[in-house]
């Protein structure tokens, strides 16, 4: 994607492969808001603001420009990805609708905690819980923004605190997983091991099932050959592959076999299209 990093901002061309609203609404992350024509995105202890500046260009401002250039995956050519996925005829409508979505390169710890909270939950409640945790236990960045807590800060949060944050039955899972991380579970190391090994390790963490594990692999650990299967992807599988299949693990394996290294982005395109066009 064509962009320029200047002193305090990134200027980049509008393109069909970058739609900030679609990216943020595609279920990958939960710390963002829209105010006065500006999208405000938070990751760890960093904040970016993104807006249009004219009909052809957009602007990202932040104190951490290189971080957010990587976060939004500016250097990956999504036109090539789309051209590869166009070989699958059933992807036509999803590609047309969802081509502005990108896979975000998020912090592993933040992704893990957020997706444990996301299990059997809706986006509004997830965002409220995550924002509560940041405001009460993270450092203040500025007048309107709080950092996501570090592992040390997370370790001081009690189960009752997580309940007050609205995490419900997930509260004990969060406490136990955070303890495992503090006791030496090497989350960052999972970026460099084989996907199946990384998945097996994640599944040992309380509150992490197959779907959450695959989301963490894709959005927080950079694994590409994963295909998180939720209700919407199950519908896609039944529509396009096997109308009788109910086993989501079998669905995931079949979809990864079909899409290979394009699995992650294919999943996001199909998920976003199916969820937004329910009928």
pLDDT at residue 140, rounded to an integer = 96
State percent of the chain over pLDDT 70: 100
Residue 44 or 1, more confident: 44
Reply yes or no on whether 200 is catalytic: no
- Of 14, 128, 176, 211, which one is the catalytic site residue? 211
State mean pLDDT over 171-180.
98
Look at residue 102 and give its three-state secondary structure: coil
Task: Indicate whether 183 pLDDT > 70.
Answer: yes
pLDDT 10s digits, 5-27:
999 999 999 999 999 999 999 99
Q: Do 148 and 141 form a contact (C-beta atoms < 8 A)?
A: no
Q: Do 263 and 226 form a contact (C-beta atoms < 8 A)?
A: yes
**In degrees rounded to 5, what are phi and psi of residue 43?**
-145, 125
Domains of the chain, CATH where assigned: 3-73 (3.30.310.260), 77-97+220-279 (1.10.1670.10), 108-219 (1.10.340.30)
State mean pLDDT over 28-56.
97
pLDDT at residue 278, rounded to an integer = 78
Task: Indicate whether 105 pLDDT > 90.
Answer: yes
Q: Do 220 and 118 form a contact (C-beta atoms < 8 A)?
A: no
pLDDT at residue 70, rounded to an integer = 97
Task: Indicate whether 279 pLDDT > 80.
Answer: no
Residue 86: how many other CB atoms lie within 10 Å: 11
Look at residue 251 and give its three-state secondary structure: helix
pLDDT 10s digits, 230-276:
999 999 999 999 999 999 999 999 999 999 999 999 999 999 999 99
Task: Indicate whether 82 pLDDT > 70.
Answer: yes
């Amino acid at each position: 994607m064509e962009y320029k990093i200047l002193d305090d901002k990134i200027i980049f061309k509008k393109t069909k492969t970058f739609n900030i609203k679609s990216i943020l609404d595609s279920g990958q992350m939960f710390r963002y808001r829209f105010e006065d024509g500006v999208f405000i995105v938070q990751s760890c202890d960093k904040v970016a603001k993104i807006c249009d500046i004219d009909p052809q260009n957009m602007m990202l401002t932040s104190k951490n420009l290189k971080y957010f250039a990587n976060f939004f995956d500016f250097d990956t050519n999504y036109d090539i990805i789309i051209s590869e996925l166009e070989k699958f005829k059933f992807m036509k409508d999803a590609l047309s609708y969802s081509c502005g979505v990108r896979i975000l390169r998020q912090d592993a710890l933040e992704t893990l905690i957020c997706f444990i909270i996301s299990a059997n939950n809706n986006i509004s409640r997830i965002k409220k819980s995550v924002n509560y945790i940041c405001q009460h236990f993270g450092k203040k960045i500025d007048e309107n923004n709080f950092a996501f807590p570090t592992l040390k800060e997370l370790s001081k949060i009690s189960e009752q605190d997580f309940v007050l944050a609205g995490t419900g039955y997930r509260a004990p899972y969060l406490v136990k997983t955070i303890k495992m991380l503090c006791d030496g579970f090497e989350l960052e190391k999972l970026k460099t091991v084989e996907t199946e090994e990384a998945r097996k390790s994640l599944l040992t963490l309380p509150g992490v099932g197959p779907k959450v594990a695959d989301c963490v692999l894709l959005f927080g650990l950079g694994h590409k050959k994963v295909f998180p299967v939720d209700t919407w992807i199950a519908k896609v599988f039944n529509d396009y592959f096997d109308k009788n299949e109910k086993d989501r693990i079998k669905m995931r394996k079949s979809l990864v076999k079909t899409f290979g290294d394009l699995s992650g982005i294919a999943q996001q395109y199909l998920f976003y299209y199916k969820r937004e066009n329910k009928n």
